Chains A and B, each alone.
Chain A
């Protein structure tokens, strides 16, 4: 089941069979900027960044982004910064892996965001998407198409939160503006 969501749409997801979500991956992919003209090397590269912010009762506790690739507790891992995007489409250029079983007990929400570090709006980026995948079976839980998404440079994508003893996910898809996750904090807080 893949949910193709439009901006702002929020739905709750839980696995149908009652099993708990144990590991999720946030994937982010976009196409490298086209080379134009004689001085092709001067093409403006596009750098999108995926980040995850860990909250304990609305307090940010830890953040995983390109300058802090692994959360201190080791449960959230960023696969590394990609500065230019993929040449084709389909694959994840950046990914954040969350081992939900290892998330510290006081962390109750994890918010995933996407920023355009180089400042291009999503209108200028080609074939950009972000998605959430259930790592245990590779199933796509939610997918956003970012390109043509309007005059924004960031998106608060989804949050994974505790629901009783298990985890569930809510897609947020709120557009925002900002260079890194810090700029997004005011936009994130209403969603907690």
Chain B
């Protein structure tokens, strides 16, 4: 469990050898400063910076970059050292941002050597600062802890160094900047492809593996920390860095591989303590969580902005992680929209019934039958209705405006599993280390609020099979049956690609049944990328064989789980989750195969076998009502917008729209290529 620190918060460190990762939206340089038990820095030799990157126990990168990896071995630090301050500074060269407030908040994570994330911290609230203390590792009663510092300095590195009592701070600061500038000019320019980010995580050809102990290089090759893909700032960071062409080599240059901290050698700490300026107590500490609005307290609004709600923030919900908070926020928006629409509909219904009653009354009144009194009464009744409906609409519009504003900040912040295919987060895609908690199946909207669509997020693992209805009745009549089938298959493939992409390599496998081979073209992206576990099963024999295999897997895993011995499974049983895509059901299925499929639909989800049926229910009409339970057990999705989803609160009929890949977009191809590479590596 990663601890997400807020400013001033501390967290115990269970390990001595640590990797600190810094990611920022613009190139920054990093360093570490060592202090004694009073927090005093005994001189420039106690500062690890790009000009002097290696000190016993601490190792910092040599150049400015958007991503850094610092190696720290707390055990190798001299006894005199009681704290290590990790700082960031913006390079002084022209072209870069001149203050932290101009770019997205930098993010720091602390990991153990095995890659487990221990703590992370987002340095929010920075403005005109150009240098900032990010984290402080400190020794308290023999044990090491980390504290989120976030103390910034508008006057830059010089002020930051001076604050720790370094008399030669100006000289040291300029030396640091010079060293980083020199080194960055030697940096290898890498092609600005979407993959460069991932290449940096793999052991690159210039990786100085020789100097890196095996456990350290393993940490380097490890997949991205799970919090990173969810970082809403990542896509922006690419844009920011790409805008300054001169900085491109810098921006895209990967984090520099660093040799491990050396334990032996000359001890550079033995210099006399030359400067003893007392430590500045620091500015006011901001204890608020970066992603949360305080509950209970009213938003700090001026008297003029009383009726204006606070600006929405992504992740403004409860949860242990950003992912969970976003999930809860999206469901909160879903409920709010359902309820506010219910209020509107109820008011309109009431206005209509009252109008009817008023009109009846006007008709029955004998006085109204002559003259204009009846007309006046009717007009008045209509006016009453219009007034109430207008009032209700005004309230609905107010709520819609707020939800739309929230949607605008939430959508860009969504991690890939929750994001639309046109979300830039997919361009920074890399194979995740953990499965997500939920998946976006599509979008939902109501007729009153067609502009505002709510992501339909369902929890993973899927508890029900999915059914893409290729006979979805084409209500508008613009599509013929063949087009509809094609669309259904495309939607199914997009969904399968999404499921595959959001799971760690080797955790999720695709199986395809396409008895007539009719879907070969649509399955093309999956086939070409080579992400299918085996080629699509065709003909009745192939169908029977694949179903038999999956049935056996379900049965064996069930037995193993019941017996409490999951490790005793035979070696040929694939323990990865399986998604079985069945195209053109029930074509190619005999009664036996149908029975097997129903068994998989019922028993599979609990042991990791999931079903995605692409079918037209009318095709299975020959089975009569026998298959009704199967259809009911599946979650019906449509390839075209269709209002068949009911929300759990009020039961409105929501229009579902599948999450399709934009026409002409290569994103699925890119993502699947990445997945295929990860799978190959995994094997």
Contacts and interface: CB of A to CB of B under 8 A. Distances in A.
Interface stretch (B170-178, B333-341, B550-558, B628-636): B333-341
A104 B343 contact: yes
Contacts of A104: 343-344, 346-347, 392, 395
A73 B340 contact: yes
B350 A73 contact: no
A165 B195 CA distance: 59
Interface string B360-402: 0000000000000000000000000000100110010000000
Interface string A43-73: 0000000000000110101100000001011
B73 to A, nearest CB: 53
Interface string A71-111: 01111000000000000000000000000001011100000
Given A70-B649, A72-B650, A73-B346, A105 B395 contact: yes
B342 A73 contact: yes
Contact of B350 (A59, A72, A74): A59
B346 A74 contact: no
A119 B682 CA distance: 67
Contacts of B336: 74
A70 B647 CA distance: 14
B335 A105 contact: no
Contacts, number: 48
Given A57-B354, A59-B350, A104-B346, A73 B392 contact: no
A51 to B, nearest CB: 19
A75 B649 contact: no
B649 A106 contact: no
B351 A72 contact: no
Contact of A72 (B342, B354, B395): B342
Nearest to B351: A106
B335 A106 contact: no
Task: Give the interface centre of A56, A59, A72, A104 by most chain B CB atoms within 10 Å.
Answer: A104
Nearest to A103: B343
Task: Give the interface centre of A56, A75, A105 by most chain B CB atoms within 10 Å.
Answer: A105
A74 B335 contact: yes
Nearest to A104: B343
A171 B388 CA distance: 28
B649 A105 contact: no
Nearest to A56: B350
Task: Give the interface centre of B335, B340, B343 by most chain A CB atoms within 10 Å.
Answer: B343
A74 B340 contact: yes
Given A57-B354, A61-B346, A74 B339 contact: yes
A102 B388 CA distance: 15
A70 B650 CA distance: 10
B650 A105 contact: no
| Contact size range, A | 10 to 19
Given A57-B354, A73-B342, A106 B347 contact: yes
B339 A73 contact: yes
Nearest to A136: B298
Consensus secondary structure, chain A interface: loop
B346 A62 contact: yes
A75 B350 contact: no
Nearest to A72: B342
A73 B649 contact: no
A73 B345 CA distance: 10
A105 B335 CA distance: 19
B346 A72 contact: yes
B603 to A, nearest CB: 34
B350 A61 contact: yes
Contacts of B339: 70, 72-74
Contacts of B342: 72-74
A57 B346 CA distance: 13
Nearest to A74: B339
B534 to A, nearest CB: 49
A102 B392 CA distance: 11
A56 B354 CA distance: 10
A63 B17 CA distance: 61
A75 B346 CA distance: 13
Task: Give the interface centre of B350, B351, B650 by most chain A CB atoms within 10 Å.
Answer: B350
B134 to A, nearest CB: 41
Interface in B617-639: none
Nearest to B651: A72
A59 B349 CA distance: 12
A75 B336 CA distance: 10
Interface string B564-597: 0000000000000000000000000000000000
Contact of A102 (B335, B343, B347): B343
A74 B351 CA distance: 20
B650 A106 contact: no
Nearest to A105: B391
B350 to A, nearest CB: 4
Interface string B274-299: 00000000000000000000000000
Contacts of A72: 339, 342-343, 346, 649-650
Interface string B646-663: 000110000000000000
B343 A75 contact: yes
B471 to A, nearest CB: 33
A70 B354 CA distance: 25
A106 B340 contact: no
A57 B358 CA distance: 13
Interface string A133-157: 0000000000000000000000000
B340 A105 contact: no
Contacts of A105: 343, 347, 388, 391-392, 395
8 contacts: A57-B350, A61-B350, A72-B342, A72-B649, A73-B343, A74-B336, A74-B340, A104-B347
The 5 closest A-B pairs by CB, nearest first: A74-B339, A73-B343, A104-B343, A72-B342, A105-B391
Given A56-B350, A72-B342, A105-B391, 18 more contacts: A61-B346, A72-B339, A72-B649, A73-B339, A73-B342, A74-B339, A74-B343, A74-B649, A102-B343, A104-B343, A104-B346, A105-B347, A105-B388, A106-B346, A106-B347, A106-B351, A106-B388, A106-B392
Interface of B: 335-336, 339-340, 342-344, 346-347, 350-351, 354, 388, 391-392, 395, 649-650
